[in-house]
């Protein structure tokens, strides 16, 4: 059942061109990271201002990557926020549930497909940046791959929150408010240095690993907390869905 | 053998008690017409049978297995056809039925799909469901509901959104399907029930007001209707002025309810007002329904 329903989710992504659009967008950003890093001094020079900008290096491409990935995550969540509310409002889930598809399978299938696509898209962007940047920019950097794991996991947390919001409110607004509300609250709490290093949002600052301003152990606790939160949120989402009238 | 057993079930939404201590059973092989006015709670009962709605009290058993809200253990026995079934519109009929068959673990799913498409009269082609008419969507709904050979087919007002021809076609498909499955058919269109059902339950004020087979129902209720047709309105008015019967009039016709033929003949002889036509009217479900629900 899990496989059948997951294949249906993938077919839906293919038929409505969402899969193509997402992969193209992430690939485009992957190419743009080193190109913008390389061209930024020249672009600024055309403005006529006399700014003393150092020669762009490899790190500038990765700074671009970490800036863009947060934006891409927001767009990704927006693209999927209607998935469950639409199925609930147009009653297409009823035929599935009434023929024996467990509600937990619906949540787990959607979570798996959306998360796997996130990982594939994210690493497509990462891979293109990683391959293309050394061709345009000089320098060598540590921990590039390890650092990339943390924003990817944070993305999965946002996806789980989106599903929770969608099931709880049965509305697109809810499926946006819950993840972005969490992101906002977590960012607000990050003002406190003592709290910041434990919060999931800390995972989005893993650029520090590449710039050698942090070590991998600095991210262990927020990573574990985030993984636990993901499991908890999915379990809560399934529990709520099991008790809902549809 | 009872395929469905509903025992003392109650359901409220906020402070509105929709279902009140409802009990009824459906025997295997029946086509059970589940009648009720709009808003009587028919869909609520069906969704409780499907485990889609919780119940406040009582028990529901399908094939001797208790229905649990949110779980779908009993749904393996049930096929469900909604009034306006929703599909994944980007699929064609075969793709959709394949998905349904895989979820229900149907054996030889491809040949079963071919069989079902033939039964409901849908072409096995690449046309996407989004291009289907209402009637075609309803046929696909029946195909998906019957795909896994359910013991019980629940149809929630399946003809309500169809034109007369589409309605007759869907009813004929359901009648054919009845050889393999028990059917509960909810509707407020009484002629549909008369056409295919062999058993009727009338839901009124949250309870089953009447539960009987359709022949018994028609012989038990409303069997004294006598229709007289007069040659003039004056004769009709004079006849009414002298009558003690309950009646309804339309044009030159007088429909007498709850009287026997002897009394009517006596009044004709007494008043010397002879009708041009006297007819015993066969009871129909509509009049029975109105009588039972006191509308």
> What digits encode the pLDDT tens for the residues A177-198?
999 999 999 989 988 888 888 9
Q: Are A198 and A225 in contact (CB under 8 A)?
A: yes
Which residues of chain B make contact with A11, given a CB cutoff of 8 A? 90-91, 95
| Six token digits for residue B22 | 């409802």
Residue from the list B75, B88, B99 with its beta carbon closest to the beta carbon of A100: B75
Residue B163 distance to chain A (closest CA, Å)? 22
| Six token digits for residue B198 | 């062999």
Q: Are B234 and B66 in contact (CB under 8 A)?
A: no
Instruction: Give the pLDDT band (50/70/90) at residue B75.
Output: confident
A147 — phi, psi (to 5°)? -65, -30
Q: Are A142 and A47 in contact (CB under 8 A)?
A: no
Q: Judging by DSSP bridges, how do beta strands B277-280 and B226-229 pair with one another?
A: antiparallel
| pLDDT above 60 for A223 | yes
A154 — phi, psi (to 5°)? -60, -40
Residue B240 distance to chain A (closest CA, Å)? 54
Instruction: Flag if B148 and A99 touch (Cβ within 8 Å).
Output: yes
Establish if A96 touches chain B: CB-CB under 8 angstroms. Answer: yes
pLDDT, residue B1, reads 83
Instruction: Flag if A99 and B70 touch (Cβ within 8 Å).
Output: no
Average pLDDT, chain B: 85
| Six token digits for residue B57 | 């009290």
| Six token digits for residue B42 | 């028919």
Establish if A16 touches chain B: CB-CB under 8 angstroms. Answer: yes
pLDDT, residue B283, reads 63
Instruction: Flag if B103 and A1 touch (Cβ within 8 Å).
Output: yes
CB pairs under 8 A between A and B: 76
Strand partners, B199: B32, B213
Q: Are A65 and A28 in contact (CB under 8 A)?
A: no
Instruction: Give the pLDDT band (50/70/90) at residue B167.
Output: confident
d(CA A126, CA A128): 6
Q: How many Cβ atoms from other residues are within 10 Å of residue B87's Cβ?
A: 24
pLDDT, residue B294, reads 62
Q: Can you tell me the mean pLDDT for B218-229?
A: 72
pLDDT, residue B206, reads 86
Residue from the list A15, A98, A102 with its beta carbon closest to the beta carbon of B80: A98
Instruction: Flag if A8 and B99 touch (Cβ within 8 Å).
Output: yes
| Sequence-separated (6 or more) residues with CB below 8 Å from residue B269 | none
Instruction: Flag if A15 and B90 touch (Cβ within 8 Å).
Output: yes
Establish if A92 touches chain B: CB-CB under 8 angstroms. Answer: yes
CA distances from A151 to A121, B200, B213 (A): 13, 61, 66
pLDDT, residue A111, reads 96
Q: Can you tell me the mean pLDDT for B34-49?
A: 87
Q: Tell me which chain A residue has its CA closest to the CA of residue B150.
A: A99
- Tell me, what DSSP letter sits at residue B237? H
Residue from the list B72, B76, B100 with its beta carbon closest to the beta carbon of A95: B100
Q: Which of B285, B115, B109 is nearest to B212 (CA)?
A: B285
Q: Helical H runs in B80-133?
A: 93-103, 109-120
Average pLDDT, chain A: 91
Q: Can you tell me the mean pLDDT for A210-226?
A: 90
- Percent of chain B residues topping a pLDDT of 90: 24
| pLDDT above 90 for B247 | no
Q: How many Cβ atoms from other residues are within 10 Å of residue A135's Cβ?
A: 8
Q: Are A164 and A237 in contact (CB under 8 A)?
A: yes
pLDDT, residue A179, reads 95
Residue from the list A15, A91, A242 with its beta carbon closest to the beta carbon of B82: A91
pLDDT, residue B217, reads 73
Establish if A97 touches chain B: CB-CB under 8 angstroms. Answer: yes
d(CA B151, CA B75): 10
Strand partners, B66: B61
Q: Helical H runs in A47-102?
A: 58-80, 83-89, 92-97
For chain B, the residue count is 295
| pLDDT above 90 for A116 | yes
Instruction: Give the pLDDT band (50/70/90) at residue B122.
Output: confident
d(CA A218, CA B179): 69
Establish if A17 touches chain B: CB-CB under 8 angstroms. Answer: no
Which residues of chain A make contact with B71, given a CB cutoff of 8 A? 242
Strand partners, B200: B33, B212
Residue B101 distance to chain A (closest CA, Å)? 9
Q: Phi-psi category of A25—alpha, beta or left, where left has phi over 0 and alpha has psi -120 to 50?
A: alpha
B26 — phi, psi (to 5°)? -125, 125
Residue A15 distance to chain B (closest CA, Å)? 7
Higher pLDDT, B249 or A107: A107
Establish if A110 touches chain B: CB-CB under 8 angstroms. Answer: no
Q: Can you tell me the mean pLDDT for B170-192?
A: 84
Q: Which of A152, A144, A160 is nearest to A207 (CA)?
A: A144
Instruction: Give the pLDDT band (50/70/90) at residue B284.
Output: low
| Least confident interval from A31-40, B123-132, B170-179 | B170-179
Instruction: Flag if A98 and B75 touch (Cβ within 8 Å).
Output: yes
Q: Can you tell me the mean pLDDT for B62-90?
A: 87
Residue from the list A16, A100, A243 with its beta carbon closest to the beta carbon of B103: A100
pLDDT, residue A82, reads 92
Q: Phi-psi category of B209—alpha, beta or left, where left has phi over 0 and alpha has psi -120 to 50?
A: alpha
Strand partners, B36: B203
Q: Can you tell me the mean pLDDT for B61-88?
A: 87
3-state helix, strand, coil in chain B (%, to 5): 35, 30, 35
Q: Are B49 and B201 in contact (CB under 8 A)?
A: no
pTM: 0.82
Instruction: Flag if B144 and A95 touch (Cβ within 8 Å).
Output: yes
* Interface ipTM: 0.84
Instruction: Give the pLDDT band (50/70/90) at residue B213.
Output: confident
d(CA B185, CA A212): 70
Which residues of chain A make contact with B80, given a CB cutoff of 8 A? 94-95, 98-99
Instruction: Flag if A100 and B87 touch (Cβ within 8 Å).
Output: no
pLDDT, residue B173, reads 84
Residue from the list A15, A99, A245 with its beta carbon closest to the beta carbon of B103: A99
Instruction: Flag if B70 and A244 touch (Cβ within 8 Å).
Output: yes
Q: Are B173 and B139 in contact (CB under 8 A)?
A: yes
Instruction: Flag if B79 and A99 touch (Cβ within 8 Å).
Output: yes
Instruction: Give the pLDDT band (50/70/90) at residue B281.
Output: confident
d(CA A29, CA A47): 24
What DSSP line would sit under A40-51, residue for residue? HHHHHHHTT---
Which residues of chain B make contact with A92, given a CB cutoff of 8 A? 86-88
Q: What is the dihedral of CA A16, A22, A28, A31, to 10 degrees?
A: -140
Q: Are B162 and B139 in contact (CB under 8 A)?
A: no
């Amino acid at each position: 059942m899990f496989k059948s329903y997951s294949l249906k989710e993938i077919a839906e992504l293919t038929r409505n061109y969402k899969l193509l659009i997402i992969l193209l967008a992430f690939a485009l950003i992957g190419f743009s990271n080193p190109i913008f890093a390389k061209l930024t001094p020249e672009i600024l020079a055309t403005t006529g201002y006399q700014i003393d900008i150092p020669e762009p290096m490899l790190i500038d491409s990765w700074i671009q990557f970490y800036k863009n990935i947060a934006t891409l995550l927001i767009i990704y969540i927006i693209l999927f926020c209607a998935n469950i509310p639409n199925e609930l409002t147009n009653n297409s889930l009823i035929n599935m549930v009434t023929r024996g598809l467990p509600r937990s399978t619906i949540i787990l299938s959607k979570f798996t497909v959306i998360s796997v696509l996130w990982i594939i898209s994210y690493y497509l962007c990462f891979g293109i940046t990683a391959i293309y940047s050394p061709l345009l920019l000089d320098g060598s950097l540590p921990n590039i791959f390890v650092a990339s794991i943390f924003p990817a996991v944070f993305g999965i947390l946002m996806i789980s929150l989106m599903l929770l919001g969608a099931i709880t409110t049965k509305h697109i607004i809810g499926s946006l408010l819950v993840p972005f509300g969490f992101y906002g609250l977590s960012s607000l709490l990050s003002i406190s240095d003592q709290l910041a290093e434990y919060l999931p949002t800390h995972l989005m600052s893993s650029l520090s690993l590449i710039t050698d301003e942090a070590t991998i152990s600095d991210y262990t606790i927020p990573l574990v907390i985030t993984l636990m939160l993901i499991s908890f949120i999915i379990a809560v989402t399934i529990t709520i869905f099991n008790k809902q009238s549809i | 053998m009872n395929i469905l057993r509903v025992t003392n079930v109650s359901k409220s939404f906020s402070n509105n008690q929709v279902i009140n201590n409802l009990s009824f059973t459906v025997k295997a092989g029946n086509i059970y017409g589940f009648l009720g006015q709009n808003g009587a709670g028919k869909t609520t009962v069906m969704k409780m049978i499907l485990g889609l709605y919780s119940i406040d009290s009582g028990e529901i058993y399908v094939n001797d297995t208790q229905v649990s809200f949110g779980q779908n253990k009993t749904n393996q026995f049930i096929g469900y056809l909604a009034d306006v079934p929703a599909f994944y519109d980007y699929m064609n009929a075969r793709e959709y039925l394949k998905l349904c068959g895989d979820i229900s673990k149907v054996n030889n799913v491809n040949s079963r799909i071919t069989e079902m498409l033939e039964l409901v009269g849908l072409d096995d082609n690449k046309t996407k469901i989004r291009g289907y008419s209402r009637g075609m969507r309803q046929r696909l709904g029946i195909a998906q509901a019957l795909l896994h050979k359910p013991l019980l087919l629940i149809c929630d007002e399946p003809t309500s959104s169809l034109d007369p021809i589409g309605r007759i076609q869907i009813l004929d498909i359901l009648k054919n399907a009845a050889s393999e499955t028990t059917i509960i058919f909810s509707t407020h269109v009484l002629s549909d029930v008369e056409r295919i059902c062999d058993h009727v339950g009338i839901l009124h004020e949250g309870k089953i007001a009447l539960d009987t087979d359709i022949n018994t129902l028609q012989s038990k209720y409303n069997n004294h209707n006598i229709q007289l047709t007069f040659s003039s309105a004056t004769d009709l008015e004079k006849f009414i002025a002298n009558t003690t019967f309950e009646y309804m009039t339309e044009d030159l016709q007088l429909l007498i309810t709850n009287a026997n033929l002897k009394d009517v003949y006596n009044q004709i002889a007494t008043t010397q007002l002879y009708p041009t036509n006297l007819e015993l009217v066969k009871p129909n479900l509509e009049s029975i329904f109105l009588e039972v629900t006191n509308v």
